[in-house]
Amino acid sequence: MQIIGITGGIGSGKTTVAKIFSLLGIPVYSADDAAKEIMVKDPLLVTQIREHFGDAAYFDDGSLNRKHISNIVFADKEQLELLNSLVHPATIRDSEAWARQQSSPYVLKEAALMYETESFHHVDKVIVVSAPQALRIQRVMKRDGVDRNAVLARMHKQLDEAIKLKLADYIIYNDEQQMVIPQVLSLHRQLLTFSSQSDGRF
């Protein structure tokens, strides 16, 4: 079974594209969702996050105070690196355990920070979802009800899209000019062929 990574800058539409693969029967692991779950369920991680980001990092019911954490980390590079160094290794371990339980010609691992983190080394191929920056900003402002500066703060913490496109094995253009579903269907067929031809990993 192959593990295919799917990534793209904030608002590129990677979650939307991953949902289309999921409708085709492909298991999808969301590193972003898993990270949030691990951050409330892993007792060691919860203690570390409280120690570094204060008790306000969690609400009284134990849920994560995302606003508190984002205000700190997206304004301070060192704080973001610290958070990432705590959360990312645990997420990679969790995704590997998940992949071992799947039976499908290939599975998708969706992660916003595939190239920025070690995740890239744990997948066989990477799909990059691409969209123009202005469109990405508009989408996230609308989806999350946040202002342009909040989107830019996250965007500036991510690898430039041009670099991701150079590193990509496959690209899906989600620019609202080119149709997305035919691109996904074509790639799905290619990935099924690769999976059946390769014995083990690519």
Ligand X SMILES: Nc1ncnc2c1ncn2[C@@H]1O[C@H](COP(=O)(O)OP(=O)(O)OP(=O)(O)O)[C@@H](O)[C@H]1O
Residue numbers of the site for ligand X (CB under 6 A)?
8, 10-16, 32, 112, 139-140, 143, 174, 176, 180
- The answer to whether 136 and 173 are in contact (CB under 8 A) is no
> Taking contact as CB under 6 A, which single stretch among the options 17-25, 97-105, 111-119, 175-183 is the one that binds ligand COD?
111-119
Token pair listed for 56: 């306000």
Q: Which does 80 bind (CB under 5 to 8 A by kind): ligand X, ligand COD, none?
A: ligand COD
Q: Kindly report the backbone phi and psi dihedral angles of residue 98, in degrees, each rounded to the nearest multiple of 5, phi listed first.
A: -60, -45
List binders of ligand COD among 141-200 (CB under 6 A): 154, 157-158
Token pair listed for 90: 């645990």
Pairing between strand 170-173 and 125-130?
A: parallel
Query: 40 CB contacts (<8 Å, ≥6 apart)?
Result: 46, 58, 62, 63, 64
**What is the greatest pairwise CA distance in the chain?**
52
CB of 43 to ligand X, least distance (A): 27
15 is in an annotated binding site: yes
Task: Using the structure block, give the residue that is written with the tokens 């080394």.
Answer: 121
Token pair listed for 108: 């998708």
Interface residue with ligand COD among 111, 126, 129, 184 (CB under 6 A) is 111
For ligand COD, how many residues bind (rule: CB under 6 A)?
21
Q: Which does 83 bind (CB under 5 to 8 A by kind): ligand X, ligand COD, none?
A: ligand COD
- The answer to whether 17 and 129 are in contact (CB under 8 A) is yes
Which residue, 5 or 11, has its beta carbon nearer to ligand X? 11
Which residue, 109 or 139, has its beta carbon nearer to ligand X? 139
Q: How many Cβ atoms sit within 10 Å of the Cβ of residue 89? A: 13
- Output the known binding site for ATP: 11-16
Binding site for ligand COD (CB under 6 A): 10, 31-32, 35-36, 39, 66, 69-70, 73, 80, 83-84, 87, 91, 111-113, 154, 157-158
